Structure 1
Amino acid sequence: MGGHGFTVDLNKPLVFQVGHLGDVYEEWVHQPIVTKEGPRFFHNDFCEFLTRTVWWAVPVIWLPVVFWSMFTSMKMGHTVAEIAAMAAFGIFIWTFMEYTLHRFLFHVKTKSYWGNTAHYLIHGCHHKHPMDRLRLVFPPAATAILCIPFWNTVKLFATPSTTPGLFGGGLLGYVMYDVTHYYLHHAQPNTHVTKNLKKYHLNHHFRIQDKGFGITSSFWDIVFGTLPGSKASNKKNKAVLR
């Protein structure tokens, strides 16, 4: 399938192909290929390497930054209880960012060559190949770049001593999000809460892709009216859940 007769060759690197799909990119990218083997993105080996991330890299790299941030606020005079409150507020702010980024950036509709290409790199690849283990969590280099505007945003409304603690809380929320996201795709939940979260997220992938934007919870979907209906999951969801 392709715009103006263009067809994507899944046996060749995909990133610079998908832009040619034009206005049919939206339909193509939301027709998932459910295999554990992910496609090649780039001809260049280094660029290809940067797109692949093991899930455990997220906590290994970012939890030390979380602890350093909170310890910095503690050294500036804040108590453990105050640090815990900052962390909780930071996590809450992250859940809102998680929802808004997923809804308005990750699911933006595009049809231009570079718009399609950028969207595929950011999130489209995850919908096309939802079980690709190495392209599920966010690459650390990209996270590091995004930490800069996040830190500067926190500084706008926080004091110098609370900025690190709030930043650390938000970053902890991100770590929880990415690890949870991986868990929902590749683990077999055995509790009521985690089973419902997995079902909720797979509904977003395979049944109602314009609703259910929350990953760690459905709170903001409830607030903003994007909660999916209560219709039972389709057969594909059930197959993946087994």
Structure 2
Amino acid sequence: MVAQGFTVDLDKPLVFQVGHLGEAYQDWVHLPIVGKEPRFFENDILEFLTKNDWWVIPLIWLPVVGWSLSRALSMGNSISQLLMMVAIGIFAWTLLEYTLHRFLFHIKTKSYWGNTLHYLLHGCHHKHPMDGLRLVFPPAATAVLLVPFWNLIKLMSTPSTAPAFFGGGLLGYVMYDVTHYYLHHGQPSSKVPKALKKYHLNHHFRIQNKGFGITSSLWDKIFGTLPPSKQAQKSR
């Protein structure tokens, strides 16, 4: 049963509380709190497993990218062919990034376990957008997800090209995760990263049902989820 009028105690572990919010969860999770890093679990081991430094992502996955690309070269692909396939893999990742963010990470939930799982997956990031240790995806979870990703690529390509497409897609993911961290905690000085940071923080603090791209706004433009400018909103 969902407790009526349930209030989350921010000083206690949150994961097993948020499910009790029921339909109120959506409003609660999209009211960000800046500055207070939450505790997820009472158990210290589970709590530890929810935290990752950003540099762990390239440290673990770039060697896998390198191994995949070297394997593709050993199978007879030229450098130009390899670069083309890597570019295709990165491009495909940007679409996957957008799709997951829009349709999975922002799924509407109201049941106890639905709210709980959503909070673990993405809701925690919207509630606590500046929590620096929960901005990148846990490597153990990534490893599990790479299995179907690899099998899908093998199904859609040849044995000699699959490692290159896989390496390109994985490189796209690494670029996404470190970019995401930088957009929250970096201080860009040049035009493009400054615009991208503004674009992403706009998704968190102004219009959370628009602007699902992280590394690029391309797919938001294509699928009509580009957030309106402040001037456009004022003129309505």
State the SS of the aligned residue for 2:4.
Answer: helix
TM-score, scaled relative to structure 1 = 0.94
1:30 aligns with 2:27: no
Residue by residue over 1:202-221, the C-alpha shift from the partner in whole angstroms, topping out at 9 and shown as x without a partner, is 11000000000000000000
Q: Quote how far apart the aligned CAs of 1:62 are.
A: 0.3
State the SS of the aligned residue for 1:31.
Answer: coil
Q: Quote how far apart the aligned CAs of 1:3 are.
A: 5.6
TM-score, scaled relative to structure 2 = 0.96
| Residue 155 of structure 1: aligned partner | 154
Q: Quote how far apart the aligned CAs of 1:156 are.
A: 1.3
| Residue 15 of structure 1: aligned partner | 15
Alignment of 1:88-127 (within 5 A): 88-127=87-126
What one-letter code is carried by the residue in structure 1 that aligns with 2:23?
D
Kindly report the root-mean-square deviation, in angstroms, between the aligned alpha carbons of the 2 structures. Answer: 1.4
Alignment of 1:17-96 (within 5 A): 17-35=17-35, 37-96=36-95
| Inter-partner Cα distance in structure 2 for 1:93 and 1:64 | 20
Q: Quote how far apart the aligned CAs of 1:155 are.
A: 1.0
| Inter-partner Cα distance in structure 1 for 2:38 and 2:26 | 18
Q: Quote how far apart the aligned CAs of 1:5 are.
A: 1.4
Residue by residue over 1:186-212, the C-alpha shift from the partner in whole angstroms, topping out at 9 and shown as x without a partner, is 011101100100000011000000000
What one-letter code is carried by the residue in structure 1 that aligns with 2:120?
L
Residue by residue over 1:54-85, the C-alpha shift from the partner in whole angstroms, topping out at 9 and shown as x without a partner, is 00000000000000001111111111111111
Residue by residue over 1:139-170, the C-alpha shift from the partner in whole angstroms, topping out at 9 and shown as x without a partner, is 10011011011101111110011111100000
What count of residue pairs does the alignment treat as equivalent? Answer: 232
What are the ranges of 5 or more consecutive residues in structure 1 without an aligned counterpart?
233-242
| Inter-partner Cα distance in structure 2 for 1:153 and 1:223 | 25
Over the matched positions of the two proteins, sequence identity in percent amounts to 71
Assess if the C-alpha contact under 8 Å between 1:15 and 1:42 holds in 2: yes
| Residue 234 of structure 2: aligned partner | none
What one-letter code is carried by the residue in structure 2 that aligns with 1:31?
L
State the SS of the aligned residue for 2:42.
Answer: coil
| Residue 239 of structure 1: aligned partner | none
